[in-house]
Structure 1
Amino acid sequence: MQLIIVTILMLYFGLGILATQYLNRRPDRPYAKERWVKLLYYFLILAIVFSAIHFHQARPLAIVIAILGLYELIRAHMQSPRPNTQFCLFVLVYLFIVFSFIRFSSQASIESLFYLYFIVVTFDGFSQICGQLFGKRKLALRISPNKTVEGLIGGLTIALLSSLLLFQPMQVPFLQNLLVTGFVCLSALFGDLLASWYKRHYQLKDYSNLIPGHGGILDRFDSFIFSGAMYLFIFP
């Protein structure tokens, strides 16, 4: 299954390159370099995460992500006059989520980890691509201005079709396949919106510049963290 997932992702990454080339022909050419940098680092992140899962290092990676995410939350608070009590509540919620995420990374099988990250990456990637190509109606303007209804539909459709393509030969029940994949996608979306809301709450554009072209560790891994935590609760 791992080889199939990697092969599918390479095909999707090729589509991402084509989409980036097309988008860079539009009038907003100043963003062309930024799109290529973001795509390059996105590929490196994929390679690191899937390598960590393959070599049974998902738990250490999850701990590193959690620590860097906490650093970004603290950094955001230090740049704002928001009350400390409010920040403490946010941190408690965050620690509860990442603790569950670390447990998931420790207890889940390699197949489950590959599946979850594959679905999250597919949903997230195609939501961005479809949103940039076809997006017109805003999904959550005040929280995440770049998200669109068209992007959500596109990402969810590709993720569901990819899941069917991957698991149908393994005789996973059709309805179960759709429900689990849909749950993972919606969890990923909610985690993304939650992280975006926190940024807007502190009036930040990015959490940090730890990943060039991306909005920080939390901006890149928020979907994975939250969907992993939710997966643990539903499928312990």
Structure 2
Amino acid sequence: MKISWSPNWQLSNELQGIVLISFSLLLFKLFVKNMITMLVAPKLVPFLLISMVVMFMLGFFRLLNSNLKGADCDCDVCDQNTSTIKQLIPYLLFFSPLFFFFTIEDFSINKDLLSTNGYISETTNDDGRTLNMKMEDEIIVKDTNFFSVMDLLNNQLDDAVGRKIVMNGYIYREEGLKNNEAVLARKVMTHCVADLSIYGYMLNGDLSKLKTGDWYTITATIQKKEIDGTMMPVLKVQKVEKSEKPLEEYIYDL
């Protein structure tokens, strides 16, 4: 048996419209503040744009048609005996994260949130990437060739030993490292912030003045060292320059 329009049905439609529009505004804020790539990889951004537009249109449609008194329905919200408080409780699950998003300060993923993850110092080239970088006297690591250099050093380490390398990153330390050891690291995202990892190289030298979490440009000589039974590249620090955190803090492994 169908029940005719009721105020509860109108309220439910209005709340659904507000939730959808609020989430579309959430995405819009991330786009405007250039924060969207802190949460998802760039290749997923077009899908979020589409989602933002679709949610706004659906929300607007819900609000526009919330008071169609000629409509019938057979869902729970049409029950005249349902209290308003009971009806509002499920929507708190949606409004709570929205409230915190629009009220708390912006954040970034810092070293404390990643401190238990450890760092990755090698990659493999089984995904089809070719190791075609020329072995020159000085290797300059950029965001665009970060993984190519890492693949190169791990697969042709003997050829790389003794060469200079210039790399920008932040200082990362974890338990077990000696006073003269640290990691020059970058945060790497594959799809979204849930798979964020730390990639980097072990540094060796006078590192006492390098503050954990600060960004530096390191000029070093490539050496090799056995770590946990595996020969790994180690960067012997020759020169250190303090640098600012880049606008694009993450590297995207896509």
Fold match, TM over 0.5?
no
The answer to which structure, 1 or 2, has the higher relative contact order (CA under 8 A, 6+ apart) is 1
Larger radius of gyration: 2
Structure richer in strand, relative to its length: 2
Give TM-score, length-normalised by structure 1: 0.26
Give TM-score, length-normalised by structure 2: 0.25
